[in-house]
Structure 1
């Protein structure tokens, strides 16, 4: 692609994440496809979106829904063909929409040609593309536990005592980034996609590339006698060598947008990741996205009793860290790995209303950084409730369920935990209308529909001026209006602290102008000082005042201009 000259051109972007498998099925096989994305480009554009992030569409056996890639340079037939992808690029470009892909380079599928060649012979050069270890006593090399449960080591069939390493599932063997030849092949592939015309990548599991090369066992942290792999294989010393080279050999050449999924990055390292010369344009911050669980990876260990005060602290602490790093934020409430935010952050089911969805949207949308919208978030889609583990597809959910049982949880409690945190919550088919299969397909979808759908679909909400969908459209329009764009992109952030605990409040300040954001995240009225100024956005019909005080109704959100 042609190099985009503006160094931080992505500062004004609004990004929409498509999970293709669940977005729109056009050939009625129950699975979403690339033609389905093309069909709805105008809908996506109506949200003010200028960049689409597409979850993996590469050829894959789909053990982990495309995050197990068997061919980096081919489209999986379930989604279409490379011609379909080229058409998507062209149609998006007509609408001034850029496309970024998901980049998964910590591991491949065990069906990838490289791994199959590695298995073919102990002397195959492709053994050096992955991580193999042979032990004398035929015991596993160490006691590390994979993120999806069980050992990180799987024995090679027909070779007793020889094992390969996988941070995630056994079907996802880790690539050996210590091998320069492997890295060169990865860079060639990345540049091939950038030459094709994509604008960049969201980069999966990127802090896992470097492992501690002592491969030593560590004290167990579970009754299985294993210890979490992240202690030895996440954000480890030496990772910077890989990430600097990756950036130099690929992204820098194209001024590409890069969004890192970067778990485990301490605040003091943030400048290396997203500073002026950082590895990436921006990274996701999971401090607030995983606020409701004790462990992001082993979430069967239980939920936290988080408070609004803690949520505010996480939000603003994240922004302060990014500012110190002279970086840029990827502001996000939902993605394909997270439950629906309305169900997650609004604890009482009866309070999970359109106004609450609008309040959450307002809370994050005007923070410094680039707002990301996950498909269906703009409708106020909610979590499902499944009655048995067989109703789940997600490998992480199934493994967390098994680990919960192993740790002594009852079946009912384990199922309750999985229902609340399962990645399948975000992967239910998009709700285009109120028909049986939501307008997603005329055939039975690959994953059951959500079961709390009344009034929550595009056809219904499109007709209602006060719907969550049309509110998100207003957010996009407001952020793009010439008189406000600079203040939202370049303005300083000032947290307003002298407000009730349940109110999130901040200013965006540029020169002599300021926009004040006030969000009541409770079901009770909140009284606070009257900040004055003109109302430029109100998610409810009225605004109450009491003399010198403002009264925010339950889940009321305001933008004021001074």
Structure 2
């Protein structure tokens, strides 16, 4: 087994602290709650945690509106609580990765407060101002992207909410400030790395109406990493929704000294209607999924780039509700998990994914919290383009609040998340889906994830770092691919992503790793039950 950089061999777990574990009963998860559950995370086999924003923030966008990059938001605890988390994680050989939001700040950040007072402010050029708004640029949360500042008699740009003014990356002082933040957390605090929010927007060229992947993007990323004193060992993960093959390689090829990896969001786009309209309910397109998770990923890895494989995060609905099938809840959750872990790259699992958490079903606006949802409501419901029912159906299917509801630890009050009043309505359609129940069940989804984490750390690790993936011929609902490694026998994943039973041809095999659904295996044929999957060594 070769000696790889740690982030290529890690099993990573994302925590949304607001909904993870509340220890002071104010209804909001906190850093002490994360520390309390480190043994749980370690026991599952995860060795790195991506912690979503915990910085001081008015929480208009749940922490992605940062008011202070150096201190903990009091709702999550204290700076000392974070130091304790770092110390306890280190004891367990768990690395911490934190979110960095450098496209914009909160409008409550001292830079923006001062910049708003006068054009003569030392922070004036930290943001993007115009005497007149350019109405051709709109917010990603719908509506105008420019808001008026009376004191300056100018408009500032915000590609998201008006409480999130965009930083001006044409000003070199902005890069210097952000580099200081990275240096502080990595080299002073000992953080193992960073996930960079909407990174592809840092090269925006407003005058030429280029928002993503602007001409200065890659030089800025390179300079940011160098001035932040980040090394190859530092994990640097990009949220880059628009990255195709060429862009992904620019980001992640080691010689470019930019990122370690980007998320493979092509998997998320493997939904019919996803590219047609963000306002339609779609369904799984297996052909798109197999091309995204195998073909695209293999092209990146074989070209010296790197990807992280993801099916869920804080911005996405629950994978079981979008990719899977509630009629085959456990089987589809396990098949999705096996697919996630069988791909070359770094797997990410989002809190609650390990127990097969499903989407929320709501029909009251008070059950929701997401700022994006309420901006979409103005655009869709208030303007009579969509009924309330149609809107709830859409949000129940793809809304961000699906992933942001508290994790269900046990069958006690509020599923063990808090003894107080939860900050958001708890999930309402899965009372039996808890960590406690699944820890007791050796055949649970949770214990299956534990087995998968062990597989990626064992003697077959080389396949998942250096393997060459190749799609095999298969019917529409089946994904079949091999991972080849030198002259060794190939690993082979075969999964049925539909409700129909399917026969499938296989070669002789020497070992079965996982056959959770008791697939009937014959010498040259297997009978794939609905939502069943298998991993074999040929």
Sort the Cα spacing of 1:213 and 1:408 in 2 relative to 1 into closer, same or farther, 3 A: closer
1:453-475: CA deviations, max 9, x gaps?
A: 23311110000010000000010
Look up the match of 1:417.
Answer: 394
* SS in structure 2 of the partner of residue 154 of structure 1: strand
Distance 2:509 2:423 in 1: 50
User: Does the Cα contact within 8 Å between 1:153 and 1:163 map onto a contact in 2?
Assistant: yes
Distance 2:130 2:524 in 1: 71
* Superposition deviation, residue 88 in structure 1: 0.7
Q: 1:439 aligns with which of 398, 411, 416?
A: 416
Look up the match of 2:323.
Answer: 345
Sort the Cα spacing of 1:416 and 1:38 in 2 relative to 1 into closer, same or farther, 3 A: same
Distance 1:358 1:453 in 2: 17
Distance 1:44 1:477 in 2: 13
* Superposition deviation, residue 547 in structure 1: 5.9
Distance 2:390 2:494 in 1: 37
* SS in structure 2 of the partner of residue 277 of structure 1: helix
Query: What's the Cα RMSD here?
Result: 1.9
User: Does the Cα contact within 8 Å between 1:291 and 1:304 map onto a contact in 2?
Assistant: no
Look up the match of 1:183.
Answer: 175
* Superposition deviation, residue 502 in structure 1: 1.3
1:501-557: CA deviations, max 9, x gaps?
A: 211111122232321111111222211113322443334352314563211222111
* Superposition deviation, residue 127 in structure 1: 0.9
Look up the match of 2:236.
Answer: 258
User: Does the Cα contact within 8 Å between 1:365 and 1:475 map onto a contact in 2?
Assistant: yes
Q: Structure 2 stretches of 5 or more lacking a match?
A: none
Q: 2:68 aligns with which of 67, 71, 81?
A: 71
The question of 1:308 aligning with 2:286 is answered yes
User: Does the Cα contact within 8 Å between 1:532 and 1:560 map onto a contact in 2?
Assistant: no
Look up the match of 2:196.
Answer: 203
* Superposition deviation, residue 8 in structure 1: 2.9
Distance 1:370 1:209 in 2: 25
Look up the match of 1:321.
Answer: 299
1:27-70: CA deviations, max 9, x gaps?
A: 00000001101111111012211110000000000000000000
User: Does the Cα contact within 8 Å between 1:270 and 1:321 map onto a contact in 2?
Assistant: no
Look up the match of 1:88.
Answer: 85
* Superposition deviation, residue 489 in structure 1: 2.2
Sort the Cα spacing of 1:25 and 1:467 in 2 relative to 1 into closer, same or farther, 3 A: same
Sort the Cα spacing of 1:502 and 1:294 in 2 relative to 1 into closer, same or farther, 3 A: closer
Distance 2:72 2:393 in 1: 36
Distance 1:298 1:541 in 2: 36
1:282-325: CA deviations, max 9, x gaps?
A: 0012222133374579722x234542122212222321331353
Q: What is the TM-score of this pair, normalised by structure 2?
A: 0.95
Spell out the pairing of 1:265-304 with structure 2 (5 A cutoff): 265-278=243-256, 279-292=258-271, 294=273, 299-300=278-279, 302-304=280-282
Look up the match of 1:363.
Answer: 339
The question of 1:212 aligning with 2:190 is answered no
Report which stretch shifted further, 190-199 or 286-295.
286-295
1:481-507: CA deviations, max 9, x gaps?
A: 2x21222222221222x2222111111
The question of 1:429 aligning with 2:384 is answered no
* Superposition deviation, residue 409 in structure 1: 1.6
Q: What is the TM-score of this pair, normalised by structure 1?
A: 0.91
Sort the Cα spacing of 1:253 and 1:356 in 2 relative to 1 into closer, same or farther, 3 A: closer
Q: 2:469 aligns with which of 475, 493, 507?
A: 493
Distance 1:141 1:125 in 2: 25
The question of 1:387 aligning with 2:363 is answered yes
Look up the match of 1:504.
Answer: 479
Distance 2:101 2:336 in 1: 30
Sort the Cα spacing of 1:317 and 1:560 in 2 relative to 1 into closer, same or farther, 3 A: closer
Look up the match of 1:225.
Answer: none
Q: How many residues align?
A: 532
Sort the Cα spacing of 1:546 and 1:368 in 2 relative to 1 into closer, same or farther, 3 A: closer
1:321-352: CA deviations, max 9, x gaps?
A: 31353111101110000000000012x5323x
Distance 1:175 1:541 in 2: 51
Distance 2:411 2:462 in 1: 39
* Superposition deviation, residue 401 in structure 1: 2.5
Distance 1:86 1:99 in 2: 11
